[in-house]
Structure 1
Amino acid sequence: MSFPIANTLTFARIVMIPLVVVLFYLPYEWSNPAAASVFILAAITDSLDGYLARKLGQTSALGAFLDPVADKLMVAVALILLVSHDPPALKFIHFDPHVLITLTAAVIVGREITISALREWMAELGKRGKVAVSSLGKWKTIFQMTGLSMMLFRSDVWFIPAFELGLACLVAAAALTLWSMVVYLRAAWPALSDTPLQ
């Protein structure tokens, strides 16, 4: 039996993560754009693997497990890279954005930990459907991946201030992240509040 193409794309996305790290730290002018390009390619496979799994009838337990793991690894590693480096020279932001980047990263990572724990708990109660991925979560992902891609690029694209626009997208993603967390917690609260403590 052949390995499903959707799972192959998910594995490829995981393999691209250390490649992004290596490229990001190389001391060449082209290294950051190359890291951003690989990250963008990985983000595209994120959209493709789920679509192909449904289209080709190749959904699997392994794919359902690996897909969110790959997504969270991508985001966490990209945030660590951005927090660990001083931002490039900026044109339109006249303050040091490092604190803002760090706080935004903390919000995004903290939300992912909270929602992952919530989904695991709701699954134990047999009510995981109440915290299924919503359209709000998808918009969050779009802003998040776009922002991270532009910030990893770290330099202007022609006359477009990519890093600053990317930071704006990332802040928007953090706001959507908090909003979606509140939505998920409100949906899960009746089940959580009725559950006796262990």
Structure 2
Amino acid sequence: MRLNIPTCLTLFRLIIVPFFIIVFYLPFSNASFYSAIIFILAALTDWFDGFLARKLNQTTCFGAFLDPVADKIIVVIGLILIIEYFHSFWITIPSLIMIIREIIISSLREWMAEIGKNNLLSVSLISKLKTSIQMLAIFSLLWKETYIIIIIGILSLYVSSILAFLSMLKYFYIAWRDLFRN
């Protein structure tokens, strides 16, 4: 298998995960800033790898598999880190909604692929919006530099969790007949 630029970006996103975690826990004053920067770098590679794959006509089966895996890993780890840091019901509940949604949608996509209908669950506009706001939320809550940034993070976290739930309902609506047929 020959690696192309988009797939290398996706692999880079996976490779920086341990550094993201380590930097988050480093005992120096700028650790939160640097972990937020690593996270936003990963988020940008998420957008950029897909853009390049389409623009350069370099889509591959491996890339199509790896990209959502890398996305979910970096997002779930980011959410877990902010849950751990804040130790707050108000952060934990929307974060868990998003983590649970990711598991459910991944399972639903896998099941739909097994029955040959994975094309019905293409990424929706609401999911793309959710992802953008979710990235802002995680970045802000990792950085947590000022009260305003934390408020932006919390508001973004709630908006993205609502969008996550709504997009999950949309995916279930699309798959409903197949889920409950004999």
Scaled by the length of structure 2, what TM-score is found?
A: 0.96
Tell me the SS of whatever aligns to 1:28.
coil
Q: Output the CA distance in 2 between the equivalents of 1:61 and 1:2.
A: 12
For residues 2 and 14 of structure 1, what CA distance do their matches in structure 2 show? 18
Looking at structure 2, the residues matched to 185 and 175 of structure 1 have their Cα atoms a distance apart, in angstroms, of 15
Instruction: Name the counterpart of 1:36.
Output: 36
Letter in 2 for 1:185: F
Q: Which amino acid in 1 is paired with 2:180?
A: S
Pick one of 145, 154, 171 that aligns with 1:167.
Answer: 154
Identical columns (%): 41
**2:133 is the alignment partner of 1:143:** yes
Query: In 1, distance between residues paired with 2:135 and 2:86?
Result: 20
1:124 shift after superposition:
1.1
Q: Which has the higher helix share?
A: 2
Across the aligned residues of Structure 1 and Structure 2, the Cα RMSD in angstroms comes to 1.3
1:117-196 equivalences in 2 (<5 Å):
117-156=107-146, 161-194=148-181, 196=182
Q: TM-score, structure 1 length as denominator? A: 0.88
| Partner of residue 26, structure 1 | 26
Structure 2 Cα separation of the partners of residues 16 and 184 of structure 1: 31
Helix, strand or coil at the partner of 1:51: helix
Q: What SS does the aligned partner of 1:49 have? A: helix
**Unmatched segments (≥5 aa) in structure 2:** none
**Structure exhibiting the larger radius of gyration computed from Cα positions:** 1
The letter of the residue matching 1:138 is K
Stretches of 4+ aligned residues off by more than 6 angstroms: none
